[in-house]
Amino acid sequence: MRIVPHLLGAAIAAALLTTQAHANELTGTLKKIKDSGTITLGHRDASIPFSYLGNDPRQPVGYSHDLQLKVVEAIKQELGLPELKVRYNLVTSQTRIPLVQNGTVDLECGSTTNNIERQQQVDFSVGIFEVGTRLLTKKTSGVSDFADLKGKNVVTTAGTTSERLIKTMNAEKQMGMNIISAKDHGESFLMLESSRAVAFMMDDALLYGEMAKAKKPDDWVVVGAPQSFEIYGCMLRKGDQGFKQVVDTAISATFKSGEVNAIYNKWFLQPVPPKNLNLNFPMSDELKKLIANPTDKSAEQI
């Protein structure tokens, strides 16, 4: 059968238009954001210097939050929504995963460890930070490593990987520790500062953040061999590949451009609110590698 050239051209054009229309169809979180004109960001109130409430109790700040705002800018461009509204929703260690799962929060960037167990519940962006789990204690406490905690009161934050690790260590090594699970990092440090615990186990960067807001920062020290290395990622709903691609691309672009170095210096090598103290926490070799080669795998999968 002979095909008339102009009819063939029309058929190809129609096919291309149909393909383009399908490609432009929005689903999942991107459709939710487009339809509502709003994105809801999950944030923490005391994860210094990642995501916390500084001098303005209505406005989260921090390293992770600055990266989160890079994602917001990318979504504005992707959806053609320059006036996209940003709504903030406070989350805790216990509520952050359920609030992402049920659609209350679209994106959570704080101090959430990407691990295999959590990957069954949510998806993670490419990693945004890497930490080691260590101890914060008074310089005069006599604690220099985890073995010194035998029979002592130790605090950690409920719903964290540190809580799981310290409980496992206590059981396996029969250390007789009394483990206190506080509701957030601020309460954990209060337990430590008021001598109800001799040490606070958590991610090293967060411990430096707590030390920076102490009444007398020079009284404290971070000690102990890291019990794990963990990668933080931003959380989003599971299986939402379109949204994940935008998130990953925005974060990776911030890494590749070098903008991440200025963000890091702002929060880890310069005075930060609320007390304008410097964490003096240089970028680790592990984080430099993560920035050079972004991945959404957990530390245990690498």
**Strands, sheet with 60-61, edge to edge from the N-terminal-most edge strand:** 46-47, 51-53, 60-61
pLDDT of residue 212: 83
With beta carbons less than 8 A apart as the criterion, state whether 129 and 203 touch. Answer: no
Pick from 120, 115, 119: which is nearest to 130 by CA?
Answer: 115
Burial status of residue 9 (CB atoms within 10 A of its CB: 0-12, 13-18, 19 or more):
exposed
In this structure, is residue 15 part of a structural domain?
Answer: no
In this structure, is residue 295 part of a structural domain?
Answer: yes
In this structure, is residue 22 part of a structural domain?
Answer: no
Do 241 and 122 share a structural domain? yes
pLDDT of residue 146: 98
Residue 201 belongs to domain spanning: 132-229
pLDDT of residue 2: 44
pLDDT of residue 7: 42
- How confident is the model over 98-134, as pLDDT tens digits? 999 999 999 999 999 999 999 999 999 999 999 999 9
pLDDT of residue 11: 42
In this structure, is residue 4 part of a structural domain?
Answer: no
Do 260 and 114 share a structural domain? yes
In this structure, is residue 52 part of a structural domain?
Answer: yes
Do 268 and 215 share a structural domain? no
Do 136 and 123 share a structural domain? no
Do 167 and 38 share a structural domain? no
Do 252 and 111 share a structural domain? yes
pLDDT of residue 24: 60
Among residues 229, 256, 275, the one where a domain terminates is: 229
Instruction: Considering only CA atoms, give the Rg of the chain.
Output: 23
Q: Which amino acid, 143?
A: V
pLDDT of residue 110: 97
**Region label for 22, one of left (φ > 0), alpha (ψ between -120 and 50) or beta (otherwise):** alpha
SS (H, E, C) 10-55: HHHHHHHHHHHHHHCCCCHHHHHHHHHCEEEEEECCEECCCEEECC
Among residues 182, 209, 229, the one where a domain terminates is: 229
In this structure, is residue 143 part of a structural domain?
Answer: yes
Do 268 and 220 share a structural domain? no
Alpha-carbon span 105 to 29, nearest angstrom? 10
Q: For the chain, list residues with pLDDT below 70.
A: 1-24
Among residues 213, 229, 245, the one where a domain terminates is: 229
Alpha-carbon span 24 to 21, nearest angstrom? 5
Do 109 and 243 share a structural domain? yes
In this structure, is residue 162 part of a structural domain?
Answer: yes
Alpha-carbon span 30 to 158, nearest angstrom? 32
pLDDT of residue 275: 82
pLDDT of residue 113: 94
Number of domains making up the chain: 2
Do 99 and 51 share a structural domain? yes
- CATH code where residue 223 lies: 3.40.190.10
Do 212 and 138 share a structural domain? yes
Do 168 and 206 share a structural domain? yes
Do 107 and 38 share a structural domain? yes
Alpha-carbon span 302 to 299, nearest angstrom? 5
